[in-house]
Chain A
């Protein structure tokens, strides 16, 4: 049996998806932190260093840094390397604009500390709902 936790936030860019979570405790600057050619995190000091964000539900506290990040998200989406959805604690305009033009479902005002990498997530950005389907432990 899987147990299910429901978190309620705010839907930002509409869409629904079900995919595996990838959770970072660190903010992300898409320009610089993410390689647009591979979709991998290339910032050595980042906790997701070397990991691909492709097709994951990418959960991180907020965006920071370069304002070109919006375009990097768009590039990733065009190459099929974008995350399936973005979940933030606090939405940042650079990430929002990127998600809008790249058409990536996005939700914020979520306590991402409740989500672990590897959890299966059902994200409904129409309603701002994140369902965490965890495999039963032990």
Chain B
């Protein structure tokens, strides 16, 4: 409660407002560590329970593929942490794409952490949420409310800058690169991004995830018809800006790929279908792991595609992703991914070299000829 009042005071909230749902980050023991686990355990021991619908971010384990391959004490600590969340009243959702479980209503107030989901909810789904810190999203889940500040207010959701995209964005990595490029220069100014040509929801997911990784802005506008106040500052995004950003997100051009990772943020049903169709009857190379990460729910819905994908030797992981598990402890030194967000974080969080490549190129690398 102290957390929420503090945030409210700072950002000029006059009151707490009820929320439709909360989404809590800080679920992977890898990113959390010991002290915050104790903090959460103490909270759970007070008997507090969540009062609104609330989902959890990914943890560090997949029930099928990782549970036996990681050091025992790390597995134990992760299971302990999952138990703490269960005690607080959470179900085992473990995904960074809670909007594939239940899409929030347009205009609904939410208290979501997980920066990629925050941007997607605000920009693509039209729900309203600030980018909560892990602990403040949890506090909001427990009291069912959040301070009425930031972009819970209509006047703070207007674009402050126009980003004119002159580059033609060919695939998801170009959208991700645009997010990284803009995130670094926007500070807290919400952009109206002009010049996107029929982006798919998944393209926008990549754009938003990257935008939030590199910057502090929590939403973007992308429909030209939105009204803007007279003269806004303008940023021009040239083709070379995208090209250079893509190049910067690749740290090695010589090292062999150990892991091809798709599913940051977690794959949608459409993405799983696309991968299944592209794999056809091919097999994954013996010297490479191919991970496709998604939520339990989407995997369940995608059963037929999952069978096809798994027949190739690719692994469909649920509840986790490459960034929040210990890939270094699995001997993975180089990660190829189609996610700019992963490419941004993996050098530090996975101590890995990264290669940012389109899904097409990821498949080409992972599969036998």
Contact = CB atoms under 8 A, between A and B. Distances in A.
A99 to B, nearest CB: 9
Given A92-B216, A93-B130, A70 B33 contact: no
B216 A27 contact: yes
Nearest to B24: A67
A68 B134 contact: yes
A59 interface: no
A29 to B, nearest CB: 8
A32 B345 contact: yes
A97 B187 contact: no
Most buried by B among A42, A62, A71, A93: A93
Interface stretch (A17-25, A72-80, A118-126, A129-137): A72-80
A116 to B, nearest CB: 22
Interface stretch (B207-215, B219-227, B276-284): B207-215
Given A67-B25, A71-B135, A75-B36, A93 B7 contact: yes
A133 B140 CA distance: 41
Contacts of A117: none
Contacts of A61: 187
Interface in B294-336: none
Contact of B25 (A36, A68, A96, A100): A68
A90 B215 CA distance: 13
B354 to A, nearest CB: 12
A70 B212 contact: no
Give the dominant DSSP class at B's interface.
helix
Given A97-B7, A97-B136, A74 B113 contact: no
Contacts of A72: 31
Contacts of B3: 97, 100-101
Contact of B2 (A10, A42, A100): A100
Interface residues of B, number: 40
A128 to B, nearest CB: 12
Contacts of A94: 131-133
B115 A67 contact: yes
A96 B132 contact: no
B275 interface: no
B153 interface: no
B56 interface: no
Interface string B117-156: 0100000000000111111110000000000001000000
Nearest to A26: B184
A33 B348 contact: yes
Contact of A68 (B32, B214, B347): B32
Interface string A24-49: 00010101110010000011100000
B186 to A, nearest CB: 10
B183 interface: yes
A119 B348 CA distance: 29
A12 B35 contact: no
A129 B303 CA distance: 60
A65 B213 contact: yes
A96 B7 contact: yes
Interface in B331-360: 345, 347-349
Contacts of B216: 27, 62-64, 90, 92
Contacts of B134: 67-68, 70-71, 97
A105 interface: no
Contact of A66 (B25, B33, B39, B188): B25
B143 to A, nearest CB: 15
A83 interface: no
B6 interface: yes
A91 interface: yes
A64 B344 CA distance: 13
B39 A101 contact: yes
Interface of A: 10, 12-13, 27, 29, 31-33, 36, 42-44, 61-72, 74-75, 77-79, 90-98, 100-101
Given A64-B216, A90-B187, A101-B3, 11 more contacts: A13-B6, A32-B345, A61-B187, A70-B135, A70-B136, A71-B36, A75-B34, A90-B188, A92-B216, A97-B134, A101-B39
Interface of B: 2-3, 6-7, 10-11, 25-26, 31-36, 39, 113-115, 118, 130-137, 150, 183, 187-188, 212-216, 345, 347-349
12 contacts: A33-B348, A36-B33, A43-B347, A62-B216, A67-B25, A71-B135, A75-B33, A94-B132, A96-B6, A97-B6, A100-B6, A101-B3
